[in-house]
Amino acid sequence: MSIFKKIFGRKSSKPKVVEIEKEEVTVEDKKIIVEEKEIKNKTMSEKIKFTIDGKECLAERGQNVLDAALDNGIYIPYLCHVRGVKQAGSCRVCNVKVAGRTMTACTTPVAPGMEVENNTAELRELRLTIIEALFVEGNHFCPSCEKSGNCELQALAYHYQMMVPRFPYAFPQKKVEADNSKILIDRNRCVLCKRCIRSFKDENGKSYFAFTKRGHKLEISMDKEIAANLTDEKAQEIMDTCPVGALIKKEKGFDEPIGSRKFDKQAIGSDIKSVV
Amino acid sequence: MSKAIVATTSLAGCFGCHMSLLDIDERILKLIELVEFNKSPIDDIKTFTKQCDVGLIEGGCCNSENVHVLKEFRKNCKILISVGECAIMGGLPAMRNNIPVEECIQEAYLDGPTVGNNTDKILPNDDELPMILDKVYPCHEIVKIDYHLPGCPPRADLLWEALVALLTGNELKLPYEVVKFD
Amino acid sequence: MRTTVKSIIEKYNNDKTRLMDILIDVQKEFGFIPDEAVEVIAEGCGLSKVDVNQTLSFYHFFTKKPVGEYAVYLNNSAVAEMKGFASVAKAFEEEAGCAFGEVTEDGKIGLHETACIGMSDQEPAAIINNVVFTNLTPAKVKEIVGQMKAGKDVKEMISAKGDGKNANELINAEVFNNIRKKGEVIFSDYEIGTALKKLGTMNPEEVIDEVKASYVRGRGGAGFPTGLKWEFCRKSEGTRYVLCNADEGEPGTFKERVILTEVPKLLFEGMAVCGYAIGSKVGILYLRYEYKYLEAYLENVLAEMRASNLLGKNIQGIEGFDFDVRIQFGGGAYVCGEESALIESAEGKRGEPRNRPPFPVQKGYMDSPTVVNNVETLCSIVKIMNKGSEWFTMMGSRESAGTKLLSISGDCKYPGVYEIEWGLRVRDMLEMVGAEDVQAVQVGGPSGVMIGPKDFKRTICFEDLPTGGSIMIFNNERKLIEDVVTNFTDFFIEESCGSCVPCRAITVLLRQRLQKIIDGNGVMSDIDELKDWAEKLKVANRCGLGQTAGAPVLTTIENFRDKYEALVQKDIDFDSGFDLEASVQASCAFVDRTPNL
């Protein structure tokens, strides 16, 4: 053990000054917590001021950056978010930058004076990369999909004028489930955004949908008993909640002609910009 | 100004993209002023007779002959453009990609409802026939492709605007409505 | 079967937050979790079947198919591969008569691969029915399989007992501690209970102040100041919890196993100190499933501590100081080492990391304020209480006080656990462990950095080369890209929870592109693309796993770019890697024709 002594024999003569607390990086989390408290201390009626790409915005107390942006007429692209439903923060399309850090707008509460970067070249590139990864990860045959024209993934690709994904196509084998009477589950098109999982629970809190497996084998499953007892209205609601064509109400589809579908002429998010 | 020389082909496609090119209507007269077609179904020239400036590829590659033609195009064209969903991502033919090729052949020649009386269970295996690839490949996963024009088919306006921009060197500005995947 | 499953559920009071325990017991009982059991569990816990399946299918050690009467889980980590994984795996397949991923026809032997099991200093190693087998060789495998075929009890199949408390009759494992260097903090002598007694003279705020003054930072790798974490938690309203993170999933780390074997009371005392400081009565040790062989021993340690009033009610006579610990096992998922994923898992759910805010100290376990601390951190606290914060800050480097346990493995003479002071130079560390001809050192496991000789002058500490403790050494004979980077990337692909798109999808794309380069089809732009994609993973994901999933690629491109360049074609700038011959093979064979190319 003599070698150890040689290397480690040194002992400091006095305690070192280690001022961790003053370092912003290491106590970033603390800062966020403090900011949260500040938010809580404000009165209910008082709105929080913050900026997106330099534009002054107002947010409700506790509101997330994404909802606040939309309320201020600013479009931040997103795929997994559903207003009023617990955020997943899983698609990562709504990534924005705050104080040099990338974070999802849907899961970040607005803090007073927060400066949010949204429509920058860097973030556009990051979002496009994610969208492209989704296109190659699944089997997205737009020409044959019932949801084409009303699909949010496709609309995001249009928004960024994606001509071809930079990644090679995976053409994975995915299961299609058509054995219940109301809903067709086509996992080829699923983007695993969790919208269905988060949005639909029965009166006892049991899930309609859930993930199975993990990682690149991740897939959605629907509870067979619940699926067997779906109403037409519920099935329609499920189809409308799915951003892509993974959950299709049976005997429904292709009922709008090309040219008059949601995203044929209007880009996704263009309605939001018109709010202001 | 000398005319740009253009070649076109349809690999594993349906010729819909070529039809869309004809959909530019009266602008086809202007196109003829801008370009001269070489190997193409449009003028029925079967083999390259000279080096071309632009090659338009419709369809992906589902067999060895497609690969051969695509490589010929790469050799003979300065700029290659994938036109339409099939060239870009395999398109509808690629819907077979997540089914083993053996099963596809089995279904097509032996088991499918449209198979007549193939009692001898003959599978096409003549040496003259193209060999079927394990999956349908997007063109850029085989050779280098310079530009991609999506759509099924690409809107005539997209083809027109893109070609004119390329041939005149003008900036390409695409209105929202023209870039579509269906 | 229904009655057995029902009684298991009842054991956990039909509580859906104890789903992990229920699934562990059912898996143990039947060797798999049949659909019928899923039905009974769903019914008993008030869940839908998909709810049960989503947790079940998340974890590596829960299965819907039988894993074999003897379920062999052989570690496939990079270090295992270096130490002979391939020949050992081959021996298992030949002797057992089935391939990995399969079970023999008679259902007797199942062969499965698994990620690092915390035995990197004694690889190749495998777990068979919760019994660990280390330093495997083809000859040893032959013997083991022979005994399995003869129906011998697994516990009786080990060839030797390990060192230290591994020989304890409640552990009885052929696992070795390999403690090569004892330091001042973790492995120094101490008297159990001293810190707890001291609490009688201090109020909780004073304890937190002492911890803050010690500048001790989280030993799991992230390095968050422990005192601050405790303070935030104490200030949050609600029933508070102490969770100890003993998931130790980072490949190459095994120091927590050694702590749990040698000084478990130190850890539990540290948890109790934390409980006193933050005002919590409940501690949970989240222990990775791979360490199930320590269960009986640890339960006994807890019982002993309860008996001597080191846990339980009015601890050490301090009125109102109640604290106890329960052990929560995981089910095999690296991501559960992330604190919020660990909390989700402890609540019986999939180990998907949560979004922040809220932070665990605000809303953690059961949505209540929770401190999640690493094993080593909590052990350090006890010594800080005993010897004072000033003593602690005397050790270490400028921003990293105290000592650090390193788990060192790979190409060196003395793999094992070393307690060093922060601030140790890599070069000195290599000399210490007897490593020669070193090509690269992986600091901090796959999620850390791979450095080459030009960086061996750097020091191990939070301000330079931070690490949770994993150090892997590769000599000049190792192929870094082909054998190490691919292994690490495969690991991240396998262990991603899949929730975030970039982590789920881009890791797979990185792996493909690596393969293209390895196969000789790469061009220079492939290297730049790899770098670009890996950099995006760093910023675009939610949790530490996703953010570091590109690290093996990224840090090797930064530090070993020449190795990539040596593999790519420099005379051409495009190669799709398309192989006509290979792509027509299947169809030609099926229609019975010779490919004519």
User: Who's near C413: CB < 8 A, 6+ residues apart?
Assistant: C433, C434, C435
Confirm if C267 and C487 have CB atoms less than 8 A apart.
no
* Gap between the Cα atoms of C575 and B140, Å rounded: 10
HSE-up of C134 (CA within 13 Å, CB side)?
20
Q: How far is A63 from chain B (nearest CA, A)?
A: 32
The SS3 call for residue B18 is helix
* Gap between the Cα atoms of A244 and A263, Å rounded: 13
C408's enclosing H/E stretch is strand C403-410
Q: Does A41-119 match A123-251 in CATH topology?
A: no
Q: Is residue B95 less than 8 Å (CB to CB) from chain A? A: yes
pLDDT at C447: 96
* Gap between the Cα atoms of B28 and C233, Å rounded: 73
* Gap between the Cα atoms of C409 and C416, Å rounded: 7
**What ranges do the domains of chain C cover?**
2-56, 70-159, 181-393, 404-475, 480-567
User: Who's near C278: CB < 8 A, 6+ residues apart?
Assistant: C204, C208, C230, C233, C234, C240, C242, C369, C371
CATH class of the region A41-119: alpha beta
Confirm if C286 and C346 have CB atoms less than 8 A apart.
yes
Total residue count of chain C as it appears in this document? 597
Dihedral sign for Cα A153, A155, A161, A164, please. Answer: positive
> Residue A19: exposed, middle, or buried by beta-carbon count in 10 A (0-12, 13-18, 19+)?
exposed
Confirm if C136 and C88 have CB atoms less than 8 A apart.
yes
* Gap between the Cα atoms of C64 and C232, Å rounded: 42
Residues in chain C closer than 8 A to B126 (CB atoms): 593
Q: Tens digit of pLDDT for each residue in C502-561?
A: 999 999 999 999 999 999 999 999 999 999 999 999 999 999 999 999 999 999 999 999
What integer is the mean pLDDT of B32-46?
Answer: 94
β-bridge pairing B4-10 and B35-37: parallel
| Beta-strand runs (E) in B110-151 | 132-137, 147-149
Confirm if C110 and C71 have CB atoms less than 8 A apart.
yes
β-bridge pairing A95-98 and A101-104: antiparallel
Q: Residues C181-393: name the CATH superfamily.
A: NADH-ubiquinone oxidoreductase 51kDa subunit (3.40.50.11540)
Q: Using the beta-carbon criterion (under 8 Å), do A171 and B176 form an inter-chain contact?
A: no
How is residue C460 annotated by DSSP?
Answer: E
Distances (CA, A) of C6 to C14, C34, C39, C45: 9, 14, 11, 10
Would you give per-residue pLDDT tens digits along chain A (276 residues)?
334 333 333 344 444 444 443 333 334 455 555 555 555 554 456 899 999 999 999 999 999 999 999 999 999 999 999 999 999 999 999 999 999 999 999 999 999 999 999 999 999 999 999 999 999 999 999 999 999 999 999 999 999 999 999 999 999 999 999 988 899 999 999 999 999 999 999 988 889 999 999 999 999 999 998 889 999 999 999 999 999 999 999 988 888 999 999 999 999 999 987 654
Q: How far is B136 from chain C (nearest CA, A)?
A: 10
Beta bridge partner(s), residue B5: B36
Structure tokens at B52: 């071309």
Q: Using the beta-carbon criterion (under 8 Å), do B64 and C588 form an inter-chain contact?
A: no
Distances (CA, A) of C508 to A162, A216, C192, C494, C524: 21, 8, 49, 10, 20
The SS3 call for residue C498 is coil
How is residue A149 annotated by DSSP?
Answer: T
pLDDT at B64 over 50: yes
Structure tokens at C221: 């790798």
Task: Give the CATH number of domain C480-567.
Answer: 1.20.1440.230
Q: How far is B19 from chain C (nearest CA, A)?
A: 30
Which of B82, B144, B176, B178 is the best mutation test for A, with the most CBs of A within 10 A?
B176
Would you give per-residue pLDDT tens digits along chain C (597 residues)?
999 999 999 999 999 999 999 999 999 999 999 999 999 999 999 999 999 999 999 999 999 999 999 999 999 999 999 999 999 999 999 999 999 999 999 999 999 999 999 999 999 999 999 999 999 999 999 999 999 999 999 999 998 899 999 999 999 999 999 999 999 999 999 999 999 999 999 999 999 999 999 999 999 988 999 999 999 999 999 999 999 999 999 999 999 999 999 999 999 999 999 999 999 999 999 999 999 999 999 999 999 999 999 999 999 999 999 999 999 999 999 999 999 999 999 999 999 999 999 999 999 999 999 999 999 999 999 999 999 999 999 999 999 999 999 999 999 999 999 999 999 999 999 999 999 999 999 999 999 999 999 999 999 999 999 999 999 999 999 999 999 999 999 999 999 999 999 999 999 999 999 999 999 999 999 999 999 999 999 999 999 999 999 999 999 999 999 999 999 999 999 999 999 999 999 999 999 999 988
Confirm if C211 and C277 have CB atoms less than 8 A apart.
yes
**What ranges do the domains of chain A cover?**
41-119, 123-251
Q: Is residue A166 less than 8 Å (CB to CB) from chain C? A: yes
The three-state DSSP-derived secondary structure of C167-194 is HCCCCCCCCCCCEEECCCCCCCCCCCCH
Q: b vs e for B66-93, b when ≥16 Cβ sit within 10 Å of the residue's Cβ?
A: bbebbebbbebbeebbbbbbbbbbbbbb
Q: Using the beta-carbon criterion (under 8 Å), do A26 and C536 form an inter-chain contact?
A: no
* Gap between the Cα atoms of A34 and A113, Å rounded: 14
Reported confidence tier of residue B171, pLDDT bands at 50, 70, 90: confident
| Beta-strand runs (E) in C432-583 | 438-443, 449-451, 459-460, 470-475
The DSSP annotation for A195-247 comes to: HHHHH-B-TTS-BSEEEES-GGG-EEEE-HHHHHT--HHHHHHHHHH-SSSSE
Q: How many C-beta atoms surround the C-beta of residue C207 within 10 A?
A: 24
Q: Using the beta-carbon criterion (under 8 Å), do C540 and A126 form an inter-chain contact?
A: yes
pTM: 0.94
Q: Using the beta-carbon criterion (under 8 Å), do C584 and B132 form an inter-chain contact?
A: yes
β-bridge pairing C109-114 and C70-75: parallel
CA nearest B131: which of C389, A191, C597? C597
B63's enclosing H/E stretch is strand B61-63
Confirm if C173 and C135 have CB atoms less than 8 A apart.
no
* Gap between the Cα atoms of C446 and C440, Å rounded: 13
Q: Using the beta-carbon criterion (under 8 Å), do A216 and C504 form an inter-chain contact?
A: yes
β-bridge pairing C470-475 and C403-410: parallel
Which of B64, B111, B144 is the best mutation test for C, with the most CBs of C within 10 A?
B64
The three-state DSSP-derived secondary structure of C246-298 is ECCCCCCCCHHHHHHHHCHHHHHHHHHHHHHHHCEEEEEEEECHHHHHHHHHH
pLDDT at A19: 41
Residue of A nearest to C54 (CA): A212
How is residue C485 annotated by DSSP?
Answer: I
pLDDT at A38: 53
Q: How far is A141 from chain B (nearest CA, A)?
A: 6
Q: How many C-beta atoms surround the C-beta of residue C573 within 10 A?
A: 10
pLDDT at C332: 97
* Gap between the Cα atoms of C401 and C399, Å rounded: 6
Confirm if C291 and C297 have CB atoms less than 8 A apart.
no
CATH number, domain A123-251, options 1.10.3720.10, 3.30.428.10, 3.40.50.410, 3.30.70.20: 3.30.70.20
Dihedral sign for Cα A16, A22, A24, A29, please. Answer: positive
CATH class of the region B4-95+135-178: alpha beta
Is the CATH code 3.10.20.600 the one for domain C404-475? yes
Residue of B nearest to C592 (CA): B125
Q: How far is B91 from chain A (nearest CA, A)?
A: 6
Structure tokens at B59: 């369809």
Q: Using the beta-carbon criterion (under 8 Å), do C576 and B141 form an inter-chain contact?
A: yes
Q: Using the beta-carbon criterion (under 8 Å), do A130 and C507 form an inter-chain contact?
A: no
Structure tokens at A244: 């892509």
Is the CATH code 3.40.30.10 the one for domain C70-159? yes
* Gap between the Cα atoms of B132 and C583, Å rounded: 8
Q: Is residue B112 less than 8 Å (CB to CB) from chain C? A: no
* Gap between the Cα atoms of B26 and B28, Å rounded: 5
What integer is the mean pLDDT of B60-66?
Answer: 98
**What ranges do the domains of chain B cover?**
4-95+135-178
pLDDT at A33: 53
Q: Is residue B121 less than 8 Å (CB to CB) from chain C? A: no
Which residue in the set C582, C583, C590 is minimally distant from B102, CB to CB?
A: C590
Q: How far is C458 from chain A (nearest CA, A)?
A: 15
User: Who's near C37: CB < 8 A, 6+ residues apart?
Assistant: C1, C5, C26, C30
